[in-house]
Copies of this chain bind each other. A is one copy, B any other.
Amino acid sequence: MRTPRKGASRKRTRRYNAGLPELRKDPITGRWVIIATGRAQRPSDFSRESVPPPTRGGFCPFCYGNESKTPPEILAYRQDGQANTPGWSLRVVPSKFPALRVEGELNRQGEGMFDRMNGIGAHEVIIESPEHESTMSELPDKQVKEVLWALRSRVLDLRQDRRLRFAVLFKNHGVTAGATLQHSHSQLIALPVIPKRVREEIDGAKAYFDYKERCIYCDMVHQETQATVRLILETDRFVVLSPYAARFPFETWIVPRRHESHFEESEATTVENLAWVLRETLRKMDKVLERPAYNFMIHTAPIQEGHLAH
């Protein structure tokens, strides 16, 4: 039995001190993982005690008047006022505890059999309303539409950066879903890699297309609207369904009726209808499950790839 030698500790210290996130590839599965040393400074991360639920009445950096407590805004929809002052209905700001950093080079390198690159990317927070207590299901239609519109605008801007390949658009609602702040917000993470799950989904849809010459999502919309057993809601533009092979209870998919591969290329009418469908779906969940914690994610095609028929 031997105990570890300490030979390479100097190198490790240097990297950890820099505090820069790093992307590392699992050589077996090909999955890229963010090794985000800096985020350990967040109040609730890596804590071994249970995290208390967000308290009402405490200080909130997303409320009116506290604009200076976030990094300067990237985008805002406002009735009046200057940037980074009250008067906005929605703000997009860089995350204060970013999983990735925008500055620098990717610097792809090998470490023996392993592969790494710098954790380059964008991590932005969409503050959905000046109201501290409103949840997305309680916001007016106009406000939900602004959230989707802001996500769309940010992706259109970020995809001009050719280093970035995929935009993860998501929301964690409620403590048990991973939210650390109560004030309603969504997040956008633009990555220099395509997540493995996304690649699987695209490859699977491609395999189906190669075999059938039809889009698997369009076929699913067709079958589910005929069968109706798993149908939750439908409009002219969207179908809300409980997927056939759901991975967890109450998993819900909102699928477009018209074939579209890129969320950021949605027309205004589509965004408007999606806002209504999303809010209505969340309201139904609130009613049936008594205001549950939830995660949602927008599944969309890689931002540097053209329209995908599959």
| Chain A residues with a Cβ under 8 A of chain B | 1-9, 11-12, 24-33, 35, 46, 48, 111-114, 197, 200-201, 204-205, 208, 216-217, 219-220, 223, 227-229, 231-235, 243-247, 249, 289-290, 292
Contacts and interface: CB of A to CB of B under 8 A. Distances in A.
A46 B249 contact: yes
A24 B244 contact: yes
Contact of A1 (B48, B219, B234): B234
A223 B4 contact: no
Given A26-B244, A35-B246, 16 more contacts: A1-B233, A3-B233, A7-B227, A8-B228, A8-B229, A9-B229, A26-B245, A27-B204, A28-B208, A29-B200, A33-B245, A46-B249, A48-B292, A112-B227, A114-B223, A114-B245
Nearest to A246: B33
A27 B4 CA distance: 46
B31 A245 contact: yes
A173 B118 CA distance: 35
Contact of A244 (B114, B204, B232, B243): B114
A232 B9 CA distance: 14
Nearest to A277: B1
Contacts of A219: 113
Contacts of A1: 233-235
A6 B216 CA distance: 25
Contact of A223 (B2, B9, B113, B249): B113
A309 B223 CA distance: 43
Contact of A228 (B4, B201, B228, B244): B4
A27 B228 contact: no
B12 A229 contact: yes
Contact of A25 (B5, B25, B205, B245): B245
A229 B10 CA distance: 10
B113 A24 contact: no
Contacts of A231: 4
12 contacts: A1-B234, A1-B235, A2-B234, A6-B228, A7-B229, A24-B244, A26-B245, A28-B205, A28-B217, A29-B204, A33-B246, A113-B220
B243 A26 contact: yes
Contact of A33 (B228, B247, B290): B247
A32 B245 CA distance: 7
A211 B114 CA distance: 15
A223 B115 CA distance: 13
A205 B208 CA distance: 25
Looking at A200, A208, A234, which has the most chain B CB atoms within 10 Å of its CB?
Answer: A200
